[in-house]
Chain A
Amino acid sequence: MVDSHDLDTCLGYLSLVNGMDGAVVYSQECLVVAMGENTQESMLIESPYFLDRYLANLRQFKDLGFGALESQIVFSDNKFYQIINLDAGCRFFLMIAGTKGSYELFKLRIERGAQAVAQLLQAKGYAKG
C-alpha cells in the first residue's frame, strides 16, 4: 500500500511500548498492510492463527444476524491477543499482542491507537467509517 509508511508510524504508538509485542494491520486476505516499529517476529507467526479464527467468527456471527464482531480479545496464561475491526466493510484489522498484565494498563492507548489508524485508513480512502 502506498500509504503504509504513515500507518507504520501511527502503529509505533502501540508497538513501541514496554509490555507490548507489537501491532500489525492486516487486510481481509490476511496480508500485512502495515506494522509498528519493533514488532516482534513471534507476533507475525502467531497472528495468522488468531486472524483466521477471528474471520471465521466474524462470518458466523454476521450470518446469525448479530452484526460485525468489532473486537476479539484472547487472554492466555501469559499473553493477550486483540483483534480490532477497523473498517465498516470488514476489510482491515488491527492485531495487537502483549503481556497479559499490560492489557489493562494500555487499554485506552490501544483504543486511541486503533482510532487513529482507522481514521488514517478512512482519510486515505481505503476504509469506510
Chain B
Amino acid sequence: MTVKEPGISAVRVATVAETVYDNPVCRNRLQASSTLAYAYTQIKSGQIDLARHVLAGLPTRTEPGMQEVLFCMEVFMQTRSGRYDEPKEQLLHRLRVDPNQASYLSLLQAVIWEEYQNSRSEAAPATPSAVSEVISPAASPTENPVDALDKGPSHSSEDPLDPEAYRQLLDEAGTLEFFGWNQKTGVRRKAGISENLDGLIDVLDKILPGDLSTAVWDLEGGGIHRIVLQFERFTLFSLFRGEYGVALISENLQKAQLSLVRLEKIFRERTQAATSLPGTESSHV
C-alpha cells in the first residue's frame, strides 16, 4: 500500500496481513504448520469464524512461542472483522510493558493505517446518479408502506438501515434486493431492482428471526446472528443485531459471497455505532 499526499513523498505502509507474515516468529510457525497457514488464509479471505474454529483446535497452542503467534492472529482477525479499538489497546498495553518490541510497533502502525484507510473509503461520497438507480421507488411519495416509512427522521449518516450505505452491494452481479428493518420502531427500508419480491419483503421482518430467537435463547444457543434461506431461484441472507435486521436477496449465493462479507462488515459497523449512542442498548436478537 503506497501513500502519496501533496507535499509528502510516497511511503509504503504494510497491511496487517503482511505485518503478521513479516514477523519472523509468525512466519516460521506459518511455514511449519499447515493448520496455522490454513487459518491465516481463512482470515485473509474473511472467514473469521472458521479461522477461530481452526485455531481453537490447534494442537500446538501451548507450545513455547505460540502465544505471540496466536496474539498476532487475534489482532489480524479483529482488524479483518472491522474492530480496531481492542487490538490497538492490546498492542499498546504490550508496548508499554516492552517498548522494544518492534514487531508489535509495526503491527500497531498497520492497524492504525488500515483503520484510517477504511474510514476514508467509507467517507467517500456516492455518485448521485448511481444512488437513484438502486434506491428504487423510495424517493417518490407512494402508497407502498415500505417506501412511505423510508423517510423517517432516524435516517442519519450512521443509520444501520440507510440503503445508501449498502448501495455498492446492489451493484454486484446477481444481487436483487436489500431490505432493512428495526423491530422496535417498525422502520423499514428497501432498495433494489426486483419488483416481484415485494410479497416476500412485506413478511420478512415478521418471520425473521421471529419465534426462533426465543427458542434459541431457551435452548442456551445464544443470540441469532444470521439466517440463510435458500430457494430454488434465489438466496436470502439476513443478519441481526439488537433491534436491527437486514437482508440481502441474491440470485446466486456463490457469486454473492463477497457482497455478503461486505454486508456483514457495514452492518456490524453501523449497528455498533448506533447502539453505542446514549440511550440505546446493544444485544443480539
Contact = CB atoms under 8 A, between A and B. Distances in A.
Contacts of B54: 101, 105
B233 A67 contact: yes
Contacts of A75: 224-228
A67 B196 CA distance: 13
B146 to A, nearest CB: 15
B207 interface: yes
- Considering residues A49, A50, A56, A99, which has the most beta carbons from chain B within 10 angstroms of its beta carbon? A49
B222 A76 contact: yes
Interface stretch (B104-112, B168-176, B212-220, B272-280): B212-220
Interface string B199-218: 11001000101111001101
A49 B219 CA distance: 10
B229 A71 contact: yes
Interface of A: 19, 42, 45-46, 49-50, 53, 56-57, 60-61, 64-79, 81, 99-105
A70 B211 contact: no
- Considering residues A49, A72, A75, which has the most beta carbons from chain B within 10 angstroms of its beta carbon? A75
Contact of A69 (B209, B211, B231): B231
Contact of B231 (A45, A66, A105): A66
A73 B237 CA distance: 10
A60 B50 contact: no
B200 A100 contact: no
B200 A104 contact: no
- Considering residues A68, A71, A74, A102, which has the most beta carbons from chain B within 10 angstroms of its beta carbon? A74
B49 interface: yes
Nearest to B226: A75
A10 to B, nearest CB: 22
Nearest to A98: B53
B284 interface: yes
A60 B215 CA distance: 20
28 contacts: A45-B219, A46-B215, A46-B221, A50-B212, A53-B210, A53-B212, A57-B207, A60-B203, A61-B229, A61-B231, A64-B203, A67-B233, A69-B230, A70-B230, A72-B229, A73-B228, A75-B226, A75-B228, A77-B225, A77-B284, A78-B221, A79-B222, A101-B49, A101-B54, A104-B49, A104-B50, A105-B50, A105-B54
